[in-house]
Chain A
Amino acid sequence: MVQPLNVLTETASQTAGPYVHIGLMPTYAGNAGYYDAEIGTSPIADGAKGQVIEIVGSVYDGTGWALRDALIESWQADAEGRFAGQDGADPAVSGHCRFAADAITGEFTLRTVKPGRVPSRYGRAFAPHISLWVVARGINIGLQTRIYFEDEDNEGDPLLSRIEQRPRVQTLIAKKTGDGRYRFDIRLQGEGETVFLDI
């Protein structure tokens, strides 16, 4: 026998299920007015510094069908690369948003400011990116991924550099569709499968 480590194990994940919106987005679930203030309705307030952008996309399953019941959360830095709560962070950027795929079209929209570069612990900065966490029926543990931008300098990004199959890097890069507008599709499985993270 050896001494006990006395460390705990993380609680096991379970799927968010088909009715996740009741708890996290009551208005979307048809229960408007449940709370006085819903959480994560926008990552920015009026006056947020930087370029306001809009990212549109869908979450596709392995058959190419867009999920109608996906819920996504985003987390990002402000235009200067500072996260809410850090010294000097833009008070108009909460950085956190919850959004859902439309029940008819399966398309989501994230309206935010483009984040700045974020320093890493070991020197090289991360290129501007938005972290995503995707949950839905059929997803047993939330899937983490990131949005990068095709009109930013992504060379040397510590995360993108680690992707062995270089064509897969493109699955994390939002494509520009207009001034301040981007397209970012998430493919859960199969051809063009998005890179998901264990981080």
Chain B
Amino acid sequence: MTDLGPLIPRNREAHPDAYFPDYKTSVARSPNLPLLTMESGPSEETGPTFGHSAIGALDNNLILNWTKGAAPAVGERILMHGRVLDENARPVPNTLVEIWQANAGGRYRHKKDSYLAPLDPNFGGCGRTLTDENGCYQFLTIRPGAYPWPNRGNDWRPMHIHISVYGHSFGQRLITQMYFEGDPLIPLCPIAATIRNRSQLDRLVAPLDMAHSRPLDYLAYKFDIVLRGRRQTMFENKIEGM
């Protein structure tokens, strides 16, 4: 197997701090000691692959997949789409993108969610797809509602969709959240605020994308994702041993 080179070290400034007291749960769940830094090796540079055979035809259609196509979910119909790239701006093809979210009222279909907003009998809230050869992905879904959570006295999560991406190596593994353009709850949210770098937070806010919306059917939001890159990909013609 060719050695594609080590992963580019993670820029921790671009990520949230582990300890962020306004997000109360982080206080007892954040390491006190520094991380052990080391150049990536085979365990981080390889990763699982997922075939198209495992993915069902409706897996990226959350409007229909809970009822296997029998009845559509209630709410604002949206297309969520974008590209997965690496830090060298190369597309990441055939990688698994998974999402989960609350329904239009802000209620999750999870045994532990007891929010008084009702479940939608036609909405499960879970989807997955593989990126195409250009790193593109898309989901049809319902725009999730905001919901309250027990943190400070009156905290509400902005509308958001959780996203999990693999990339091609275990060291690229990433989970994040997509927010929606114009949501006034974003600046109030302590989880969003864990990201101190303003431009990094802005990049989690998906713009309304009228060009990809479908008249009389759905609106669109665009959300691009960048994963860690490999160092040698920038220096493919380097002299051996340099």
List residues of A whose CB falls within 8 A of some B CB: 6-24, 26, 29-31, 34-37, 39-40, 61-63, 65, 67, 69, 73, 75-77, 83-87, 94-96, 103, 118-121, 126, 129, 131, 133, 135-144, 146, 158-159, 162-163, 188-190, 193-199
Q: Complex formed: what's the CA distance from A76 to B99 in Å?
A: 25
Minimal beta-carbon separation of B238 from chain A (angstroms): 15
Interface of B, secondary structure class, is loop
Kindly state whether residue B213 has any CB partner on chain A within 8 Å. no
Minimal beta-carbon separation of B99 from chain A (angstroms): 6
Q: B227–A84 contact, CB under 8 A? A: no
Kindly state whether residue B237 has any CB partner on chain A within 8 Å. no
The residues in B between 72 and 114 inclusive whose CB is less than 8 angstroms from any CB of A are: 85-89, 96, 98-100, 108-113
Interface of A, secondary structure class, is loop
Q: Complex formed: what's the CA distance from A131 to B45 in Å?
A: 12
Q: A198–B100 contact, CB under 8 A? A: no
Q: B41–A121 contact, CB under 8 A? A: yes
From A39, A133, A138, A198, B54 is in contact (CB under 8 Å) with: A39
From B18, B29, B35, A61 is in contact (CB under 8 Å) with: B29
Minimal beta-carbon separation of B216 from chain A (angstroms): 30
Q: Complex formed: what's the CA distance from A39 to B50 in Å?
A: 8
**Can you list, as one digit per residue, whether each of B184-208 has a CB less than 8 Å from chain A (1) or not (0)?**
0000000110110100110110000
Q: Complex formed: what's the CA distance from A75 to B43 in Å?
A: 7
- Nearest residue (CB) in A for B14 is A9
Which residues of chain A come closer than 8 Å to B30, judged between CB atoms? 62, 138-140, 188-189
- Provided the pairs A62-B29, A131-B170 are in contact, do residues A12 and B204 lie with their beta carbons within 8 angstroms? yes
Which residues of chain B come closer than 8 Å to A16, judged between CB atoms? 162, 164, 175
From A23, A75, A121, B100 is in contact (CB under 8 Å) with: A23
Q: Contacts A9-B14, A131-B170, A193-B33 known; list 13 others, CB within 8 Å.
A: A11-B176, A11-B227, A12-B204, A13-B16, A18-B113, A22-B109, A39-B128, A62-B29, A85-B1, A86-B1, A140-B26, A140-B194, A158-B41
